Amino acid sequence: MLLIKCPFCGDRDELEFSCGGEAHIARPLAENTLTDAEFADYLFLRDNPKGVFLERWIHTDGCRRWFNVARDTVSHEIIEVYPMGETPKTEAAKAAHKASWRRQTAAEAAAKPASPAGRSGS
């Protein structure tokens, strides 16, 4: 059973937590021109890598707060715990974030507000 450091409560047994699956899946904004296939990248497709994986966890039987965890799916080592809305700081987790195919998807691009006029292309 994993020992997970809740950022709000400290080290607790895995059974107090629930895993919310892959982290950093940005939800496309309401106004978008995504095709069904592109939208499916957001809606259905999830990673299952061998190695470092960035996941969302919630301390269900504790403070009920969500946070992010970088975990090695082979060794079960927890590399980093970091807040919702942020990206990881450790090298291994940063690399996993950068390397994700999701960074290149239209769905992720559609989750960001369009650049203000005049600054596009800069």
Partner 1 sequence: MKTRFMKKSGTKPAAMRLPEGGRINRGKPVQFTFDGTSYQGFEGDTLASALLANSVYLVGRSFKYHRPRGILSAGAEEPNALIRLGKGARIEPNLRATQIELYDGLTSESQNRWPSLNLDVGAINSLFHRFFPAGFYYKTFMWPASFWKSVYEPVIRNAAGLGKAADDHNDPDRYEKTHQHCDVLIAGGGAAGLMAALSAGASGARVILADEQNEFGGWLLSEGDTTLDGEASPAWIAATLARLEAMENVTLLPRTTVFAYMDHNYITLMERVGDHMAECPAHLPRQRLWKIRAREVVLAQGCHERPVVFGGNDLPGVMLSGAVRSYINRYGVAPGRRAVVITNNDDAYRTVFAMIEAGIHVAAIVDMRPAAAGPLVAEAMRMGLSVHSSHAVLAAEGTRHLGYAKIARYNPKTGDVTGDPFYIDCDLIAMSAGFTPLVNLHSQARGKLEWDEEFCCFKPSTYHEAAQSAGAGNGAFDLATAMAEGAKAGAEAASRIGFEASPAQAPAIDAPVADFRPLNFWGVPSDAAPGSGPKAFIDYQNDVTASDIKLAVREGYQSVEHVKRYTTNGMATDQGKTSNINALGIISGELGATIPEVGTTTFRLPYTPTSLGAIAGRDIKGLFDPVRLTRMDPWHREAGAKFEHVGQWMRAWYYPQDGETMEEAVNREVRRARTHAGILDASTLGKIDIRGRDAAEFLNRVYTNAWLKLPVGRCRYGLMLKDDGMVMDDGVTTRLGENHFHMTTTTGGAAGVMAWLEEWKQTEWPELEVYLTSVTEQWSVATVSGPNARIILEKLGCSVSLRDDSFPFMSCKEARLAGLPVRIFRISFTGELSFEINIPSRLGMALWKNLMQVGSEYGLTPYGTEAMHVLRAEKGFIIVGQETDGSVTPHDLGMDWIVSSKKPDFIGKRALERASMALKDRKQLVGLVTENPMDVIPEGAHAVLDPNQPMPMEMLGQVTSSYFSPNLNQSIAMAMLKGGHAMKGETVWFPMIDGSEPIKATITDTVFYDPKGEKLNG
Binding site for partner 1 (CB under 8 A): 1-3, 13, 20, 27-32, 34, 36, 39, 43-44, 56, 58, 60, 64-66, 75-76, 84-85
Cβ proximity of 73 and 29 under 8 Å: no
**80 vs 70: CA distance, rounded Å:** 5
31 vs 121 by CB, closer to partner 1: 31
43 vs 95 by CB, closer to partner 1: 43
34 vs 92 by CB, closer to partner 1: 34
Instruction: Find all residues with CB under 8 Å of 64, minimum gap 6, and list them.
Output: 58
Please report where in the chains the tokens 């296939």 appear, as a residue.
37
21 vs 90 by CB, closer to partner 1: 21
Min dist. Cβ of residue 76 to partner 1 (A)? 5
Cβ proximity of 50 and 96 under 8 Å: no
**29 vs 113: CA distance, rounded Å:** 8
Min dist. Cβ of residue 81 to partner 1 (A)? 14
Q: Could you give the 3-state DSSP secondary structure of residue 40?
A: helix
Min dist. Cβ of residue 15 to partner 1 (A)? 10
